[in-house]
Chains A and B, each alone.
Chain A
Amino acid sequence: MSKLSFRARALDAAKPLPIYRNGDIPDLNDCVSINRAVPQMPTGMEKEEESEHHLQRAICAQQVFREKKECMVIPVPEAEGNINYYDRLYKGEFRQPKQLIHIQPFGLDYEQPDYDMDSEDETLLNRLNRKMELKPLQFEIMVDRLEKASANQLITLPEAKLLLNEDDYLLKSVYDYLVRKRKNCRGPSLIPQVKQEKRDGSTNNDAYVAFRRRTEKMQTRKNRKNDEASYEKMLKLRREFSRTVTILEMIKKREKSKRELLHLTLEVVEKRFQMSDFSGEVLSEVSVPLAEKTVHPAPICLPNGNRHKTENKVKSHKSTPKHHPHNVTVKAEPHFDFIRPHKKSSRKPKLDTLRPPSRPERPHTVNTADIKQYDFHSSGEDENPQSPSSEPDEENDPDGAFVFRRRAGCSYLSPLTEQSDGSPPVLAGLDAMWQRNALTALSVPRRCVGVARRRLGRGGRFLLDRPSSELDRALRHLDPDTFCPSVTHSTFAPLPTDSHMDTHTNTHSPSPFRTTPQRSLAQLLSDIQACRWRYFQPRPLHQNQRDESGRNALHEDDRKGGGVTGTSSSRNTVLGGITEEQFQTHQQQLVQMQQQQLAQSQQQGLRPSSNLPERPHVHVSNTASLDTLSKTLDSASAQFAASAVVSTPNKDGKTHNTAVNGILPNSGSSRQNKFSSSGSSSVRPSGASSKPLLAVPQSLPHGHGPLSSVSAVSPAHTHLNSARPCAPSPPALKLATVASSLDRVPKVTPASAIDSIGRDKNEPERLALNGIETTVAMEVT
């Protein structure tokens, strides 16, 4: 009655089911039909099989009889009875241990041959045993090893001999037997084995292949399909983490080597000091044969405007220069190489070609410079190529990724624009050399090094590549002082220095510098006009001395700067430093640390005065100071100044540039031209870099009366810094010379900025600095 309308609730597994037994059982007539409401559970069998005759019969029987009837059992193929030889086969008895049996992990694998002798083998064995004793186990071991060493083909007899250390006759007999046996054997091996899968997938369908390896595919829960995806992600993550770890380890390694290098350098310096090798002769002797890399990171003078001309050089510069704003040609430093081997390779040949000539004379003066540099390096400069490539011209445009960017912790030196004073006339053969190299003098061990090309090494170290030439001897005896004044100025005096100076010490008053330059200007001019040589001297210390501006303290700094990286203080010193005595440089080196500290303090002191934002300023000062000290810090400062200028008066700057350009071409160094052009056009990829460049040139052309030479240099430097160091120098020189000749005072704003720096120092400097700050901040990052 209710059946039809009645629908049973779903069976609830959590609901108690009362149990009715026997007599209790109610009349279930009503229930029967309802029974169906409980969903039928699948049996779990395949349908076809479920319907098989014997099963159905058995099921029926069970339901009917509640137990299995013998005749209703599902029939199976019969097994035969006892094996009567069982006891003979399985000999001995096995006592059941009292404890549960525990298998020792490695107890099972004790080496027994997998091969089991058959009766055929036994025949052979019997035959062989007539001549020699061969035990079945021994035979099995032989076969086993041979079989396992063989694939489809039995290994060759010689191989077998190698494999088995057996009597030749025995081996031969067994081997021949096996060859025959294998032929008759149906299987691939005499040791029957389950067929293995082949990797090519050809066996995917082979019924006899079993126990395939599960692919790496992980087993994922079926209900979570994304498991696989996340698993893959995890894998990826892990891979990346491990990569990170690797990288970190490599960095650690790198830093360690850096530290080591630093220590070594220190050691060298100390040793040299102990040996009183102040002139660096010992070192040079020792180091000459060494790989160039190690040689001189020393700060040597460098003004080789010429190099710019040569394309090769340019390139080489580019490669190296990124780090070195300076024109100094440096062999790739170790770090460098480490990081960019390719560059090195490209560079090397050129350098080599250039070098050989210069070698003998190498003046490597200050190794000390390195010390500080290392500190900075560790900060990880290496990674970004600072493209303060020395050659401004060519690279300006094309640089792209390699555009010079100022690096924190790097000092950038301005190129030296100098004339070689009395440097010997250019020989035809020497022309090339001169193009690339410049007459160089060291300020610290005061002497003329001869012809060299300077590069800027890491951290502002100068490296001098010196070609050897016939002139070397003559050059060596040259008195650097003769041309020094002007030279030095040009090299170092760039605007930045001035600015720094200003910031640092008002007392210094730019005037002294300028005056000095002025004096030398005439000479320079004449030199330049007469010959195209450039003269390079690391430090304008002389000037400082001459300048008399009472900074004795600074002198030390200067020295340091010449020899080593300088601090902010060192910059100052650069300007006013005295380079006279070689040992002074050494002292500088030693004092570096102190200097640094001083510099910092100075910087701090400076900051307030300059009103510059501390951060950027510090950076700048550091870098600049270092650079200056090392050689070209000026350039850095010049950059700053320039940038400042640029930021303030762009237009003016441009005009200046043009002027510069005009000058530059005259300078004759193609690079310069390029550079200048680039600068003028402001084509440079990196805005920052371009700016400084522009500014600098401008300043130069205007050439402040006193500073003219300096200013001229500075532009070059800036160029260098920003893009390529060396090239600018010649134009700078020219500019400077022009300026000097004209005795003009820079009127252009940028120039004015510079001028102000130079002359007024106080105000202009601040401005420049401010400008710098901003720019620097950008650049540095």
Chain B
Amino acid sequence: QNYVVSPRLMEIVEGCRLPVLRKNQENEDEWPLAEILSVKDTLGRKLFYVHYIDFNKRLDEWVTPDRLDMKKLQFPKKEAKTPTKNGLPGSRPSSPEREVVRETALNGTTRRVLPPSQPGRKRKTCGTDEDSQDSSDGIPTAPRMTGSLVSDRSHDDIITRMKNIDCIELGRHRLKPWYFSPYPQELTTLPILYLCEFCLKYLKSLKCLQRHLTKCNLRHPPGNEIYRKGTISFFEIDGRKNKTYSQNLCLLAKCFLDHKTLYYDTDPFLFYVMTEYDCKGFHIVGYFSKEKESTEDYNVACILTLPPYQRRGYGKLLIEFSYELSKVEGKTGTPEKPLSDLGLLSYRSYWSQTILEILMDLKSDNGERPQITINEISEITSVKKEDVISTLQYLNLINYYKGQYILTLSEDIVDGHERAMQKRHLRIDPKCLHFTPKDWSKRGKW
């Protein structure tokens, strides 16, 4: 079945759906339904860019024909065909289906080529209306200028829909980008894009990198170190003063942040780069950016732990650091929306642990039952009130009892929290933070 007649391969066009073989985390074969986003011919061999329905875009990939289950090929519905090229949703991972992928595949229903999902995509278009974009000259209006994330997908076309960089070499690591990033186009065809580990400059070859390293003497991010504890340091970089580095950082980050936009310059942002020191220098682990002035209480714009460092607590460390900054500023903050899946998980986890920490530490003064207000939690943690509430809800801590709301800490919760905290050895030490917030509003333009 793998080597279907080639004529049939010819029939596979963008928008087609069919099960595609992939290995899951347990290294088992599975055949999730996928949509063909693009077809290319290299060296006489066809490659198909597939998006696994209901999987995150980051798992999209080029597959060889032998991974396609041609027997279950579904041709695109008419509506779906057209939009693919012009950035309309046709090629986009489809709308939420509650069922598991495999079930969808079994059902073989492809009817939802998307229309239903579209409305959802449009939410949060601030100021720039999708409709106007589509209707008029086809030139979308520029996205809003605040923030760093695109909440609507109006600019999501087939180009940005697909990863364009195959591999990035950064220091000791090779990274597989998850999403499109607007590196110079001539570099996208390279098998490997080389980055200088410290200044993040992109280079087309190892030779160039070598040459570059003879000239680049950076061994740490080009900013002021505002935190250091152990090997962990944070550097603050002004997006206006150090444009080159900021842009390089953004280009790299874009490879792993779906909603990040690089539409505008980096001037209104500060970048906090977390590094880990070894004898070679301060190696970037992750970073978050932050608007100098946020109109919506955002204390984080984009946040990323580089893949090699993921799932080791660095993300939480970044988040914790961002709230430490907010504490110094005396403000509450919240991450810019939309959150990614990983972002949501990380933040929820951080919020849960932070709030539980407080709740568990509460002692009753006078033998009465300890109590606390949501505002107090918010003030202590600098976590925005809404996030506190949503976390309490998510943890199912809020209950209504005898005419009032109460917080209930079940054993389950307490145990889970304690276990989690034991694993969380990376913590920010506020004493090591040397940070003076600036009032950017008084500085003219950022």
Contacts and interface: CB of A to CB of B under 8 A. Distances in A.
Chains A and B form a bound pair: yes
Interface of A: 8-9, 11-22, 24-26, 28, 30-32, 34-35, 37-38, 40-55, 58-59, 62, 65-67, 71, 73-83, 86-87, 89-91, 93-94, 96, 100-103, 105, 108, 112-113, 116-119, 122, 136-137, 140, 185-187, 192-195, 201, 204-205, 207-215, 217, 219, 221-223
Contacts of B178: 76-77
Contacts, number: 362
B63 interface: no
Given A35-B398, A73-B311, A219-B145, A54 B55 contact: yes
B225 A101 contact: yes
Contacts of B67: none
B375 interface: yes
A62 to B, nearest CB: 7
Interface string B165-185: 001010111111110101111
A195 B262 contact: no
A469 to B, nearest CB: 70
A34 B399 CA distance: 7
Given A47-B123, A214-B265, 9 more contacts: A18-B371, A44-B339, A46-B151, A51-B97, A86-B171, A90-B280, A100-B226, A205-B155, A207-B180
A22 B174 contact: no
B373 A54 contact: no
A74 B408 CA distance: 30
B109 interface: no
B378 interface: yes
Interface string B234-258: 0100000111000100110000001
Nearest to A191: B184
A205 B174 contact: no
A28 B419 contact: no
Tell me what chain B mostly uses at the interface: helix, strand, loop, or mixed. mixed
B310 A76 contact: yes
A186 B185 contact: yes
B224 interface: yes
A192 B195 CA distance: 13
B178 to A, nearest CB: 6
B338 A210 contact: no
A17 B370 CA distance: 8
B145 A17 contact: no
A222 B295 contact: yes
Interface string B46-79: 0000000011101101000000000000000000
B35 to A, nearest CB: 13
B95 A116 contact: no
B126 A211 contact: no
Nearest to B89: A48
The 6 A-B residue pairs with the shortest CB-CB distance in the complex, in nearest-first order: A66-B416, A51-B96, A41-B390, A187-B186, A77-B176, A94-B219
Most chain A CB within 10 A, of B95, B242, B277, B390, is at B390
B409 interface: yes
A89 B247 CA distance: 24
A89 B93 contact: no
B390 A214 contact: no
A71 B26 contact: yes
Given A86-B171, A90-B213, A31 B393 contact: no
A216 to B, nearest CB: 10
Contacts of B369: 18-20, 24
Given A17-B373, A44-B344, A83-B171, A222 B126 contact: yes
Contacts of A91: 213
Interface in B431-446: 434
A43 B339 contact: yes
B204 A55 contact: no
A140 B211 contact: yes
A96 B126 CA distance: 45
A100 B228 contact: yes
Given A48-B95, A118-B204, A54 B172 contact: no
Nearest to A32: B399
A781 B307 CA distance: 82
A56 to B, nearest CB: 9
B386 A41 contact: yes
Contacts of A195: 182, 184-185
A19 B362 CA distance: 9
Interface residues of B, number: 155
B419 A117 contact: no
A82 B434 CA distance: 34
B341 to A, nearest CB: 4
Interface in B390-416: 390, 393, 396, 398-402, 404-416
Contacts of B14: none
A214 B145 contact: yes
A22 B411 contact: yes
B425 interface: no
Interface string B204-223: 11111111111110011011
B372 A17 contact: yes
A53 B34 CA distance: 13
A271 to B, nearest CB: 56
Contacts of A93: 279-280
15 contacts: A22-B409, A35-B399, A47-B123, A74-B345, A77-B176, A77-B178, A86-B172, A90-B281, A101-B282, A102-B224, A117-B208, A118-B204, A195-B182, A211-B243, A219-B146
Nearest to A26: B401
Contacts of A74: 56, 341-342, 345
B243 to A, nearest CB: 8
B205 A119 contact: yes
Given A66-B415, A195-B182, A210-B182, A17 B374 contact: yes
A640 B259 CA distance: 83
B224 A116 contact: no
B413 to A, nearest CB: 7
A291 B220 CA distance: 72
B336 to A, nearest CB: 9
A11 B397 CA distance: 13
Contact of A208 (B182, B279, B308): B182
A28 B340 contact: no
A79 B307 contact: yes
Contacts of B157: 205, 207
Residue of B206, B247, B386, B401 with most partner-chain A CB within 10 A? B401
B6 interface: no
B180 A49 contact: no
A50 B415 CA distance: 27
A80 B166 CA distance: 12
B101 interface: yes
A53 B241 CA distance: 42
Contacts of B282: 94, 96, 101
Given A31-B401, A193-B184, A207-B180, A14 B375 contact: yes
